[in-house]
Chain A
Amino acid sequence: MSANVTQPTAELLGDQPAAPRTTGLWRDTVANILRQRNAVVGLAIITLLVLAAIFADVIAPIPPNKVLLGTEAGVRKLSPPCVHLLGCPTDRPQHLLGTDTNVRDEWSRVVHGARVSLQVGFVTVGFAIVIGMLIGAVAGYAGGVMDNGLMRLMDVVLAFPSLILAILIVSALGHSLINAQVAIGIVAIPVYARVMRASVLSIKEQDYVTAARALGASPGSILLRRIVPNSLTPLIVQGTLGIGGAVLEVAALSFIGIGAQPPIAEWGSMVGLERGQLFNAPWLIFGPGIALSLTVFGFNLLGDGLRDALDPRLNR
């Protein structure tokens, strides 16, 4: 409404905006995000990664787990990167990032790794957000003993250095990518529970919630239909900020061998398994290493930008 009122004034003053003035929360938000250099760079990196994940089979046609020994002439293990266009002799098979110890195409594994890491980021944080949201909403809305009990439990989880607790959980559950994701998810829950609880506490005193209660709505429906939708924004911001960290920590668990198990093309485990080849075949470390750093970098930049764009206190 207010935007409609201000628009004619701006025109009267001869101030001609390049684009029509945006209206509504979402368009404002998008415009805010696009104004931030960091967020745009982050968004570009993530878009690139998503495209790589979707078109992995086109960009890197060799299956990531295929052992090439005996299928190609002249192929051997740990062969260095070879691109014919860049002067590599044509009698050697072409491999952008060389081959690994098991004679698989490293480039293929790095590209397909994007699928794993993006999945890891979104699913792990999604899991933490859903559980954290439930805990935070119940604690904030119910108050009293329930609130105290749940929040002290969250304090206990926060009392551990996160990776150490995750190591403990995975060691107890068994080594696998899913368990590593569950562990990193569990460790992240308290952050989201606290954010959710804080928004619920402020929203439940709003007039429209009182009105819904006066109309006879049940607590469950108030929580689900009035409170939860209105407290999602801070959770989304926190979630975006958390994706980079989650990718990093799951990769760390895979690196020490308790996350993704071979032959999954996961960047952390690829670095971990080829660690001994650092001085002979450094591309096996730096290929997945750079991909992993870039992914985390992209999510961190996007998260920072999103926070700046959505935080009304920082609105300029």
Chain B
Amino acid sequence: MTRFIVRRLLLTIPVLFGVIFVVFAAARILPGDPCRAQLGERATDAVCADFNRRNGYDLPIPVQFTTYLGKLAEGDLGASTKTSLPVTQLLVQRLPLTLELTVYALAFALLVGIPLGIISAYKRNSPIDVVTMMVANLGVSIPIFVLGLLLAFVFGLLLRGTPFALPPSGRLTSGVSIRPLVEVWGLQALAGPPRVLLDFTSNIYSLNALITGQWNVLADAFRHMILPAVALGTIPLAIIARITRSSLLDVLGQDYIRTARAKGLPDIKVVTRHGVPNAMLPVVTVIGLQLGGLLAGAVLTETIFNLAGVGLAVYDAITGRDFAVIQGFTVVIAVVYLLVNLAVDVSYARLDPRIRLS
């Protein structure tokens, strides 16, 4: 097991360097002058000469890459071209919301997708199965931005005034506010990394409200997360339902299932005890792969529901041609994605001992 993890870790390192290099290359080597690309119409020859010298773009490419790597290692992602604020600071402000949204979306996908897949497989070719799979097919075909706008339209406008109405934008209803952890605990004097960590946790509204017992805020924050989470979670839900179904169908055809049936186990126990646990392996892989889609989908979801997370920051950076922010966030998202996949691989080895052997 340890050997497997170590080998898998070592294999990740070259890919990690590759990822960083690709992001670096997108800024420096691709056709187009970084100055003109980033400053747009503000760029004149004099401005550009100064800009290039200030950012070290006049140095040889290998030197620039080493400098870039060094800065990354120190956690320096550069500064926004527009606001001059460090990208890291923006990240700490924006990441909690995206994290919260992703967790809700994934929970929705798992809690609905897995049972749907199990029922579909168990009732194979029944009307339930056909309808579920048709809906799953539709689910992967509707673009997030269309589904999101549709949800906002239905729950924000058509159902307005009914108990089913849900807020189509923002994180909290105006008038409701959440108290940060430092304030609740009277730690305003705190500084440095512990303070950053506390502020970060404070910004995950559901978690903060849960810890400090601000129940009305918790309910409000949750209501605001429903529509975005459903919009973002639908594609993974459809994929998870399909994978669960096909994987469980595979398992239910195995000899040990026949044995379990032969010894007189009730059908429900055959499926829940022997079927489902053995069918979960491919589902775990797919969850890992879907996280990348969730991070990318956050850009669209946050734009539609007006949530100030990483996704909206990337969107604003795109419209404002703030390349430093796009670059910084891309590196972070790619590294997170890489680590998640590493974790999935490792958990895979825990779930299935055969993998460690090969």
Of A11-19, A91-99, A101-109, A148-156, which binds chain B?
A148-156
- Of chain A, the residue at the smallest CB distance from B142 is A293
Total B residues in contact with A, Cβ cutoff 8 Å: 51
The CA of A140 and the CA of B67, in the complex, are separated in Å by 36
Q: A290 CA to B141 CA in the complex, in Å? A: 10
Q: How far is the CA of A279 from the CA of B330 in the complex (A)?
A: 33
Kindly provide the distance from the CB of A261 to the nearest chain B CB, expressed in whole angstroms.
13
Chain B residues with Cβ under 8 A from A304's Cβ?
137
Are B337 and A160 within 8 A (Cβ)?
yes
Q: Which of A220-276 contact B (CB under 8 A)?
A: 244, 248, 251-252, 255-258, 268, 271-272, 275
Quick check: is B131 within 8 A (CB to CB) of the other chain?
A: no
Please state if B150 and A286 are interface contacts (CB–CB under 8 Å): yes
Q: How far is the CB of A124 from chain B (nearest CB, A)?
A: 16
Chain B nearest CB, measured from A277 CB (Å): 10
Contact among A168, A256, A278 for B149, CB-based, below 8 A:
A278
Contacting pair A285 B149 (CB below 8 A):
yes
Looking at B149, B152, B153, B295, the one whose CB has the most chain A CB atoms below 10 A away is B149
Spot the interface stretch: B18-26, B81-89, B255-263. Answer: B18-26
> Closest chain A residue to B327 by CB distance?
A168
Binds A, one of B105-113, B190-198, B214-222, B297-305: B297-305
> Which B residues are in CB contact (< 8 Å) with A278?
149, 152-153, 157
Question: From residue B64, how far is it (CB to closest CB) to chain A in Å?
Answer: 15
Segment of A24-32, A53-61, A70-78, A171-179 engaged in the interface with chain B: A171-179
- Per-position binary interface string of chain B over residues 148-165, scored 1 when its CB falls under 8 Å from any chain A CB and 0 otherwise: 011011001100000000
Chain A residues with Cβ under 8 A from B31's Cβ?
A: 173
Please indicate which of the listed interface residues A172, A255, A256 has the most CB atoms of chain B within 10 Å of its own CB: A172
Contact check, A169 vs B145: say whether CB atoms are below 8 A apart.
no
A163 contacts the other chain (Cβ, under 8 Å)? yes
Please give, as numbers and ranges, the residues of chain A lying within 8 Å of B295 by CB-CB distance. Answer: 161, 164
- Complex formed: what's the CA distance from A142 to B260 in Å? 50
Q: Give the segment of B44-52, B178-186, B278-286, B315-323 that binds chain A.
A: B315-323
Q: Is the CB of B299 within 8 A of A152?
A: no
Q: Give the dominant DSSP class at A's interface.
A: helix
A168 and B23 contacting across the interface, CB-CB below 8 Å: yes
Q: Does B37 contact A (CB under 8 A)?
A: yes
Chain B residues contacting A286 (CB-CB under 8 Å) are 146, 150
Q: Give the Cβ gap from B126 to chain A, nearest Cβ, in Å.
A: 15
Interface check B292, CB cutoff 8 A: yes
> Which of B37, B318, B321 is within 8 Å of A256, CB to CB?
B318
A278 to B21, CA, bound (A): 41
A153 touching B138 in the complex, CB below 8 Å, given contacts A159-B338, A161-B333: no
Task: Give the chain A neighbours of B61 by CB distance below 8 A.
Answer: none
B63 within 8 A of partner (CB): no
Query: How far does the Cβ of A298 sit from chain B's closest Cβ, in whole Å?
Result: 8
Asked if A301 lies at the interface with its beta carbon under 8 angstroms from chain B, I say yes
A169 with B334, Cβ < 8 A, contacts A271-B149, A286-B150 known: no
Say yes or no for B14: interface residue by CB 8 A criterion. yes
Cross-interface CB contact of A252 among B21, B26, B143, B338, cutoff 8 Å: B143
B140 within 8 A of A: yes
- Cα separation A189 to B330 with both chains bound (whole Å): 19
Known: A279-B153, A292-B143. A169 touches B19 (CB 8 A): no
Complex Cα–Cα for A255 and B27 (A):
23
Q: Is A199 in contact with chain B by the CB < 8 A criterion?
A: no
B313 within 8 Å of A by Cβ? no
Asked if B1 CB lies within 8 Å of chain A CBs, one says no
Closest approach, in angstroms, between the C-beta of B129 and any C-beta of chain A?
13
Residues of A within 8 A of B39 (CB): none
CA distance A163 to B232 in the complex (A): 14
**Chain B residues with CB below 8 A from A110, complex form:** none
Complex: A286 Cα to B148 Cα, angstroms: 11
- Cβ of A251 to closest chain B Cβ, rounded Å: 6
Q: Is the CB–CB distance between B296 and A244 below 8 Å?
A: no
- In the bound assembly, the distance between CA atoms of A279 and B150 in angstroms comes to 10
Query: With a CB–CB cut-off of 8 A, which chain B residues contact A79?
Result: none
Q: Which residues of B contact A271 (CB under 8 A)?
A: 145-146, 149
Q: Cβ of A172: which chain B residues have Cβ within 8 Å of it?
A: 26-27, 30, 32, 37, 323
Residues 95-109 of chain B, each 1 if its beta carbon lies under 8 Å from chain A, else 0: 000000000000000
Q: Which of A38, A169, A171, A248 contacts B318 (CB 8 A)?
A: A171
Answer whether A257 and B296 are a contact pair too, CB < 8 Å, given A171-B323, A296-B143, A300-B141. no
Query: Given A152, A174, A290, which contacts B15 in the complex, CB threshold below 8 Å?
Result: A152
Contacts of A167 in B (CB 8 A): 299, 314, 318, 326, 330
A120 and B319 CA atoms in complex are apart in Å by 23
Contacts of A272 in B (CB 8 A): 145
Q: Are A161 and B334 in contact (CB under 8 A)?
A: yes
Give the residues in chain B near A81, CB-CB below 8 Å. Answer: none
Q: Are A153 and B18 in contact (CB under 8 A)?
A: yes
Known: A165-B330, A172-B323. 20 other contacts (CB 8 A): A152-B15, A156-B22, A159-B19, A159-B334, A160-B292, A161-B292, A162-B292, A164-B295, A164-B330, A167-B299, A167-B314, A168-B327, A168-B330, A169-B30, A255-B145, A271-B145, A279-B153, A279-B157, A289-B149, A294-B141
Ranked 9 nearest A-B pairs via Cβ: A156-B18, A161-B292, A163-B296, A289-B146, A297-B141, A296-B141, A161-B296, A172-B26, A172-B30
Q: List 11 A-B contacts (CB under 8 A).
A: A160-B22, A167-B314, A168-B23, A171-B323, A171-B326, A248-B143, A256-B315, A256-B318, A278-B149, A278-B153, A300-B141
